[in-house]
Amino acid sequence: MQILQITDLHLYGNAGGSLRGVETDSSLRHVLDDAAAAAFDYSAILVTGDVVQDDPTGYLHFKSLLTGLGKPVLCIPGNHDEPDAMRQSLRDEPFQYCGTRRIDDWQFIMLDSYDPGHVGGRLGAGELQRLDAALTHSAAHALVCLHHHPVAMDSRWLDSIGLANAEDFWRVIDAHAQVRGVVWGHVHQVYEGERDGVRLFGTPSTGAQFQPHSDRYAVDSRPPAYRRFELRPDGSIHSEVRWVDFIGAAGHAAAG
């Protein structure tokens, strides 16, 4: 099974809105076009937060861009989202807000790490219980999705706005053997790692990126991107990030 992950879209209600020098509507369209042109036969789209840039009218815009793709769109909130407006906007198929979703041999667990008034994230007691219950009630291979990074990115400013209670998160993950991967957005750069057999994936934005390993906030010059996952029946994962240089021609892949 293949999955398309897009993250940190930062859309506005107005198609001309731009952030950090990138028109976020235009760059998302190029990302979706690239995925279509690559004949990438994905079963669902995973959207790991910051769908809008502090502008709830952006959800209508998001829906108009993704409804016609004919695939389930699994969404979680980021710090720039408005969870109540997002849940309300995305309550109908093909959209799903948080919750869990079983597709083939895999269970997707979509967590809400939004922490009101904070740029960083936190998983409340209810979300941690929901994660534990989802893993207790299904032995399927699990892909756990949240907006904020639950490991250090080796970037001082970003690591001050990650998942504040990552220890609580890992305590639940460590208690269940079937977690195969953890996936996040928020960091606007690539991260790939492994922790006790669990694959870890941070994914660049569909818009502007941040400079890796930077002590201070700094915008990178890398182009928009998305991630492709192949989730196999044996629980193994192949994944790559695809960069979309929409001034030039086709994107290029960076293996992972």
Minimum Å distance from CB 211 to Fe ion? Answer: 14
Minimum Å distance from CB 188 to Fe ion? Answer: 6
The interface with Fe ion within residues 133-192 (CB under 5 A) comprises none
Task: Answer yes or no: are the C-beta atoms of 186 and 201 closer than 8 Å.
Answer: no
Q: 70: left (phi > 0), else alpha (psi -120 to 50), else beta?
A: left
Residue 182 phi, psi dihedral angles, 5° rounding: -125, 135
Q: What is the DSSP string of 122-134?
A: ---HHHHHHHHHH
Of 184 and 229, nearer to Fe ion (C-beta) is 184
The interface with Fe ion within residues 50-69 (CB under 5 A) comprises 50
- Residue 8 as a binder of Fe ion (CB under 5 A): the answer is yes
Q: 144: left (phi > 0), else alpha (psi -120 to 50), else beta?
A: beta
Stretch that binds Fe ion, among 13-21, 44-52, 106-114, 131-139 (CB under 5 A): 44-52
What are 172's two structure tokens?
A: 């639940």
Minimum Å distance from CB 148 to Fe ion? Answer: 10
Stretch that binds Fe ion, among 3-11, 90-98, 147-155, 219-227 (CB under 5 A): 3-11
Of 6 and 98, nearer to Fe ion (C-beta) is 6
Of 49 and 251, nearer to Fe ion (C-beta) is 49
Of 52 and 143, nearer to Fe ion (C-beta) is 52
Count of positions on this chain that bind Fe ion (CB under 5 A) = 2
Of 19 and 73, nearer to Fe ion (C-beta) is 19
What are 227's two structure tokens?
A: 């991630």
Distance between CA atoms of residues 209 and 194, nearest Å? 23
What's the Cα-to-Cα distance from 164 to each of 9, 40, 97, 124, 169, rounded to whole Å? 23, 35, 22, 11, 10
- Residue 81 as a binder of Fe ion (CB under 5 A): the answer is no
- Residues in contact with Fe ion by the rule CB under 5 A: 8, 50
